[in-house]
Amino acid sequence: MTSILLPRPDDWHLHLRDDEMLSAVAGYSAKRFRHALVMPNLRPPITSSADAAAYRARILDQVDEGSSFVPLMTLFASSELDLEDLRSGSESGVVKAVKFYPPGATTNSDQAKGSLGSLHELMEVLVELDMRLLVHAESTDPDVDVFDREAKFLDRQLAPVCERYPELKVTVEHVSTAAGVDFVNAHPQVVASVTPHHLARERGDLLASGMKPDLFCKPVINSASDRAALVAAATGGDSGFFLGTDSAPHTSTAKYAPTVAAGIFNAAYGLEVVAEVFHRAGAIDNLGAFVSVNGAAVYGYEPSDEQIRLTRVESRDVGESKLVTAIGDVVMFGVEEAAHWIVEPV
């Protein structure tokens, strides 16, 4: 029987939404993770330190009293961002990072203003503050194939920024391709978060037997060879790669609509999914680095003093496979893997 002790993990890329959905999903992340880097793409987006503080308060209102869970807040990058407010938010500890979305790339990113290459004043302030730029790395050029969007964005848009601002610290969020892994390895100031679903699935799972809306996300789950590159990077112990679940809940009404909402809800079982990936790769001893150490170091934290135990079993009854909320059902990703793992605090 495989059993491993780990420092309590952190989630370095999380969508909690707001209102009824926030109330339904926040407890799953708070139960598993010490810190969570919360994405700002609400409608309207989080664009000021006051917005971030208010959103953090709403999140904490949905967490059990006595929980040690800490949401870390981000701002939505825009040409209209108030840079003095950003400085103030950084100094007060309210704002941890700034997130860039290509306009139209994913949920609520139509609100973005300005291309990455046009945000020169923001880049200069981020360097000044030693604050990290988070990047959704997808080209929205209609001439670019959907499976090539990450590679094209990195080459055409992020590479020039990294060259112009070598001191700028960058996280490529939810890296999804071998090209993304290569880009991180080629740029010392760049690291990457990796999701459970990109580690555990490839595009055949999404498309081969009919489109699976519950596996549709942005960037899309890519090829088997891309998945293999991600698994090698994650399980190999490289400190530049770490867990960011990109858990992004949508109701089944939105997932099964004519235009499928992009996002996978994995907060409940994402840790089990990653554990199974590492187990199958024969790299379970490196799991702690990926989920508890690497990302913490990138964002300036020591690993948690709290511990959890993961134990692999032949089979168990998972229980929940969907979350029933006041606004609709949300399908949970990772039920198959969760049937093989018990996660418990120590």
Q: Which two tokens stand for residue 342?
A: 């018990």
- Residues 6+ away with beta carbon under 8 Å from 12: 35, 36, 37, 171, 193, 242, 243, 244, 295, 298, 299
pLDDT value, residue 103: 80
Query: Does residue 114 carry a pLDDT above 80?
Result: no
Coil, strand or helix at 294: helix
Read off the pLDDT of residues 49-77 as tens digits, 9 standing for 90 and up. 999 999 999 999 999 998 999 999 999 99
List of domains in the chain: 9-305 (3.20.20.140)
Query: Does residue 335 carry a pLDDT above 70?
Result: yes
**pTM given for the model:** 0.97
pLDDT value, residue 109: 62
Contact assessment for residue 312 and residue 305, using Cβ atoms and an 8 Å cutoff: no
> Distance between CA atoms of 340 and 330, rounded to whole angstroms?
22
Coil, strand or helix at 93: coil
Contact assessment for residue 197 and residue 264, using Cβ atoms and an 8 Å cutoff: yes
Band of pLDDT at residue 281, cut at 50, 70 and 90: very high
pLDDT value, residue 110: 77
Read off the pLDDT of residues 206-225 as tens digits, 9 standing for 90 and up. 999 999 999 999 999 999 99
**Element of type H or E holding 335:** helix 335-338
> Distance between CA atoms of 44 and 41, rounded to whole angstroms?
8
Contact assessment for residue 89 and residue 75, using Cβ atoms and an 8 Å cutoff: yes
Question: Which residues have a catalytic role annotated?
Answer: 246
